[in-house]
Each structure stands twice: as C-alpha cells, then as structure tokens.
Structure 1
Amino acid sequence: LGALSAGAPQAHVQALSEYGYNLGIAFQVGDDIIDIFGEEEKTGKKVGGDIYEHKLGNVVLLLAMEELGVALAEVLAKSEVTPEDAARVIDLVKRTSARQRAEELRNRYVERALTALDRLPESRYKDLLRKLAIFIKEREF
C-alpha cells in the first residue's frame, strides 16, 4: 500500500506486494518452527505455546501429523494440555522430518520474496528489505 499511495510504478507495486506476501508466509512458518524448537531464553516465547493454545495451524505440527497421525492428534485434541503433554508432542515432532520440511518451506518463501525484489531498482531500501528476508531465513532460536 505504501508504494501504491506514493505513486510508484505498477511494476514496483506488484514486486513489493509479492515480496510482502511471500516474506509474511516465510515469517509465519519461521515463527511456527521457533514455537516448537526455539529456546525460551533466546526467543522470549514459551516453547510449545501453540500446543497449549491448540493452534493446529502451526506448520510444524501439520507436517508432523502427516507422519505421526493419531499419536499426535490424540494429545493435541485434549481440552487441557499439560506441560508433560507438550513435552511429549515436542518429542514426537523431533522424531519426524517436520523441522527440515518446515525450514525448506520457509526458505522457498524467502527465495520467492528475494526474487520479487530483483525486479526493483537498487536502493538502500531494497538492501534493507533484502537483509530482512535473509534475517528471517537465518534467524537464531
């Protein structure tokens, strides 16, 4: 919207729109990875928060369910998740390829965002947007 309201050429508006869309998805997938595999001391977030809150849209959990099916669904379906339940889910998820697959998904969306940026002229703003995308891809947790 900023580029549009500033009167940027339509090609730039489209490129920035694609950048934002793809980077937004990459960020969310990264956040889902951090929720399951992050360290509370580094992230400031409770590990497994999405498990406690029954956020079944967490990409890592969805990918793990493809491999674990009922074993994972039983714990996630409980009305109240205990710390032991959350630890069990995390342990189960760690035994799957869900983390690797989620990281690959995040990285694909980052690459799509960077490809969209390639259609913009060089500027310090483009450099900042590029650095933001790379940060999301390489974020420590």
Structure 2
Amino acid sequence: MKLKLLYSDIKPELDLIEQELEQAVDSESPLLNDASLHLLQAGGKRIRPVFVLLAGKFGNYNVDVMKQVAVPLELIHMASLVHDDVIDDSEIRRGKPTVKAEWNNSVAMYTGDFILARALEYITDIDSPRLHHVLSKTMIEVCRGEIIQIEDKYKLDQNLRDYLRRIKRKTALLISSSCELGAMVSGADEKTVRHLRKFGYYIGMSFQIIDDILDFTSSDEELGKPAGSDFLQGNITLPILCARSNPEIYRLLQTNLNKDLTDEERLRIVQTIRNSPAINEAKAISERYLSKALKELNELPKGPARKTMRNIAFFIGKRKF
C-alpha cells in the first residue's frame, strides 16, 4: 500500500497545502522561482503537513487556520533539505538532480534561505506567542542537529546516544512540532497537545531509523540515489553502529571511511551491512519507538484521525521504501 492512500480522506486539504506551497515559493526572481519549484516538484511524503492536519482534527478544525501552520513547517523542512545537499555534496535526491547539482552551491544556499524566510513570513499571520516560541525553539534545535552531524562525521567510534541525539534534532523534533502545533492552533486541550507532541517525537525517531536502514537495504533505483550514501558522506547511522561490533566489519568500515569509493567497493559495504545482524538490531530499536508512539495514540479520543495516525505510524515503522 502507498502512504498517500492512508490519508486519502484529507486529500482535498493536502491539495490546498500544495497550492499554498507553490504560491509561497513564488518569487520575482526567475532563478529563485525555478530553483524553489524544482525542489517542490521533486515531491516528498508531506508527512509534516499531514500530521498538522490530523492533529487539528482533535480540536476545532479549520483548514484555513491549519494551513498557516502546515505550509511553514513544510517550507522549513524543504529549506533544510537544500542546505543538507550542499553540506553533503549530494547530486541526487528522490531520483532527480538536487538544486546544487542543477545550478550551484550559491544558488542552493540562497534558495534555502529564501524558502526559510518565506516560512517565517507565512506564519506571522498567527497571533500566538506560544506557537512562535515552540516553532523558533524547534528551528534552533534543527540547526543544532545539523551542526552536530557535521561534528560527528567520520567518527566511527561515536556512541548510540550521539546518534539518537542527532536524529532527534534533525528529524524527530520537526515532526513532533507538526503534531503539537496542529493541535495547539485548533484549540485542542493541553492533555491532547502533550500526547500528540510525544507521539510525533517517537514516530519521528522511528521514521529516521527506518530511513537509515533503507539506505542499506534498498537499491539505488528504489532510493533515487546511491545505496550507502550516508556512509559515503561520513554520516554514521544506526546500522553502522550496530554492525561495527563485528571486528571484520569494523576494519572494512574503518578502511573505507572518508575515501572515494568505486561502485564495486560501495556495494560491497552495503551488502556486508545488509547481510549482518545489524539490520535487525536497528529495526528492533525502531520498533521500540513505534511502540511508544502507539501508546501515546491510545491516550487520545477515538475517531478517524486517530485511526489514520495509527495506520501511518505502522506504515512508517514497517516501510520498505
């Protein structure tokens, strides 16, 4: 089953969000316009807007209010992707050339800055100091996560806590904030807001761990980029942390870390990790976060929104692409 089928009941609202995103990145500069649309039209799961909308169903749902949160959160995510691709020197994302590959690093950086500025401009329509505080704190933590990732690059001997701290800031907090802010802006009660925030955090952790697993278990075609890209870029992810306990694998990783690898060398490393117990060990950790997310959902009122969130959570935790 495709993820989009799980939230087909909010497709009209998501179509509206998509239109708003296109308008938000519109610019008088043809170059900025082309680069922003290039990123937007590359697609994506739109997980963050989906969770904003679904969280809003637990309060007084109004799509015109919900979009004021959903659009800037997705724009912040998009801006981080453009900047990520420059830092990681990535040529391909979702099977298409990145902005930095299609143009250059300077265009990519300014495009990311422009999209981020649009996000900040868009959310000023909401008169809620608390909401702005949550959002600004989240953005600060996302930036800290990016810096931590740079500091941790090529460190094969980092510990599990370093990895979990990094993905919390890079991925989980933005998903957590999507759930929290969606509930807040719809006027949901404090207990509901708290459970949705925790649900978003736990499912965000599971989501990123599965993403890191798929980097080794999926093919280049399925990923839309070379398998093992994380290792090539020096990002030490959970499968690597689990696999390094094997002395042979540790030596293989250590020898090839921070080197220009041929496709044959890259695929040998990918295959080694794929066939090791590390994949199941990483999946078990993801399962623990998924289980915690589902417990938070069980504390929420029953209804279509809770059911859809549950289905999405299971999909995220079990996905194979």
Q: Percent identity?
A: 32
Match of 2:244 among 61, 65, 72: 65
Secondary structure of the corresponding residue to residue 66 of structure 1: coil
Task: Determine the structure 1 residue equivalent to 2:318.
Answer: 138
TM-score, length-normalised on structure 1? 0.88
Size of the aligned set, in residue pairs, is: 139
Task: Determine the structure 1 residue equivalent to 2:195.
Answer: 15
Task: Determine the structure 2 residue equivalent to 1:81.
Answer: 261
Structure 1 runs (4+) deviating above 6 angstroms are none
Q: Quick one: higher RCO (CA 8 Å, sep 6+), 1 or 2? A: 1
Task: Determine the structure 1 residue equivalent to 2:309.
Answer: 129
Secondary structure of the corresponding residue to residue 244 of structure 2: helix
Q: Distance in 2 between matches of 1:140 and 1:93?
A: 16
RMSD: 1.7
TM-score, length-normalised on structure 2? 0.41
Q: Distance in 1 between matches of 2:231 and 2:296?
A: 34
Matches within 5 A, 1:89-104: 89-104=269-284
Unaligned runs of 5+ in 1: none
CA drift at 1:87: 1.6
Correspondence 1:33 to 2:213: yes
Q: Distance in 2 between matches of 1:17 and 1:66?
A: 34
Map Cα deviations across residues 98-127 of structure 1 (whole Å, 9 max, x no partner). Answer: 100011111111111111100000111111
CA drift at 1:95: 4.2
Q: Distance in 1 between matches of 2:294 and 2:206?
A: 11
Q: Distance in 2 between matches of 1:126 and 1:62?
A: 34
Correspondence 1:6 to 2:186: yes
Contact 2:216/2:274 (<8 A) preserved: no
Unaligned runs of 5+ in 2: 1-180
Map Cα deviations across residues 64-120 of structure 1 (whole Å, 9 max, x no partner). Answer: 123233332221232x23222212212331342110001111111111111110000
Greater C-alpha radius of gyration:
2
Contact 1:65/1:73 (<8 A) preserved: no
